[in-house]
Amino acid sequence: MMGAIVLLHRWLGIAFCLLFAMWFATGMVMHFVPFPSLTEAERFAGLGPVTRGEAIKTVADAVAASGITDAKRVRLIQRSDGPVYIVSGPSRLRAVRASDGQDASVSSPEVALAIVRADARQRGLDAGHAAIIARSDYDQWSVPNGFDRHRPLFRVALGDDAGTEVYVSSRTGEVVLDTTRGERGWNLAGSVLHWIYPTVLRSNWALWDRVVWTLSLLALIGAALGAVLGIVRMKMRGPRIATPYRGWHALHHVIGLIATGFVLTWIFSGWLSMDHGRLFSRGQLTAAEDGVINAAPGWAEAVSFDHTPISALAREVEWFGFGGDLYRRERIGLEKQVVLGPDGGEALVIGAQAVGSFMARLATGCDAPSILAGNDDYPAQSTVPGAPVYRSRCGDVWLDIDGADGRVLQRLDASRRAYRWVYGALHTLDFPILVAHPRLRDVLIVGLCALGLVFSMTGIVIGWRRLRLSFAGQDA
């Protein structure tokens, strides 16, 4: 048995020592530089005031023109080529012109470039030398699945000092992503390596999922076998723990004993990042829940809001259904909005009473919704800074609802709550006590990853020497 463990650990270690070193090194980079994205603050800053002329189509007309019969939400934004409705359904979205209901998708590079320049002016970016680089389905920074409904994407280089590149959805004409030269460089040394994220692999999600899950599992097995050997081979010399090895093997053994707890939990939780429903629930709504939560509203009822004109300060208007009723909200600032309810009353957010009524429609025995505290063990944040997130417990299932727009932010059953700790907390150290002390958390993450990196380097040296001896023996 021990012979088999030694053999497996040796060759799995040789196969994965470089991968271990890469994971620890890139993990430090990722902690400080996340994968490029368009933040809500950046997205909202790029929006111009909405203009709604006399000839504008109604919301019901826009939904009909889009052909999306199960539309859930409709937004009105101002593009450089005029106001546009963006109609969203469960699986697709479409943009139609507010003036005549015609298709407003973007196929012209000139239109995409004009949209980017207008967005850059709103955000205070220099777009004087902006130019279209490509129109494609995938590149290194647009591979996440969230962009699927927007493909193909126009990629526009602003030509500014930061090397900013902006991506425009061909479906809606919205800016959906931006990157800078610094973000791209650090992520090539961070997320791309850490997640094994080359475009050719990641663009095929199912293949990428299987490859990374398998590699992570084999790495975990190799580390677990090493932990067994490390403990079994440990010697006691009086009150001190000693190693029977010398040189690099001794260093690998001693550092391994020190780092075993962190290495195993980190590799295990990293493997769980690729779980995707294999062992734990995915936090998805059941069919019955989805039928209530995402039921298509009666869009003809949107006419009831027309007696209240849209504010001249509004930079985005959204109509959405919640609890069987239709609402309209106007985004006036990043942290300011006005919500019109079905009774015509105005508020800043959806109220707790409306959320409670909604939960009563969804399930029986649900607790009255409570506002989520900022230091909750299972955190969730509204899309509008400062807006409340309501949590309602329906037996074993918890639902967190955004008070700003009525979206369900997360569904937590017992399995998902466990996953939050065995993956999120173990892998990113986002324990509440450490989140409250970010400097301490930074030091711990960097220190532990550095320890793991040094441990991996000893494995690389030992593995290289073993390979040299093996090949030298074959040559002889």
Domain boundaries, the chain: 2-33+196-280+438-475, 40-189, 287-412
Which residue type, as a one-letter code, is found at position 328?
Answer: R
Query: What radius of gyration, in Å, describes the C-alpha atoms of the chain?
Result: 27
Model pLDDT, residue 152: 97
Centroid of chain to Cα 220: 24
Model pLDDT, residue 465: 94
pLDDT averaged per 10 residues, the chain (length 476) = 92 96 98 97 97 80 95 96 95 94 97 98 97 96 96 98 98 98 98 97 97 98 96 82 90 95 97 97 93 91 90 96 93 96 92 93 90 94 96 95 97 98 96 96 98 97 92 64
Model pLDDT, residue 473: 63
What does the longest C-alpha to C-alpha distance in the chain come to? Answer: 92
Centroid of chain to Cα 107: 28
Model pLDDT, residue 423: 97
Angle at 164 between CA 162 and CA 168, to 5 degrees: 170
Model pLDDT, residue 368: 94
Model pLDDT, residue 235: 82
Model pLDDT, residue 285: 93
C-alpha distances out from residue 411 to 127, 245, 282, 291, 407, Å? 41, 51, 9, 15, 11
Model pLDDT, residue 474: 61
Phi, psi of 53 (to 5 degrees): -75, 180
Sheet (strand 131-136) strand order:
131-136, 153-157, 165-169, 175-179
Q: Do the Cβ atoms of 36 and 178 come closer than 8 Å?
A: yes
Q: Which two tokens stand for residue 159?
A: 């030509």
Which residue blocks in 294-385 are alpha helix, DSSP H? Answer: 352-362
What is the distance between the alpha carbons of residues 313 and 44, in angstroms, rounded to a whole number? 13
Model pLDDT, residue 472: 74
Q: Which two tokens stand for residue 96?
A: 């139609």
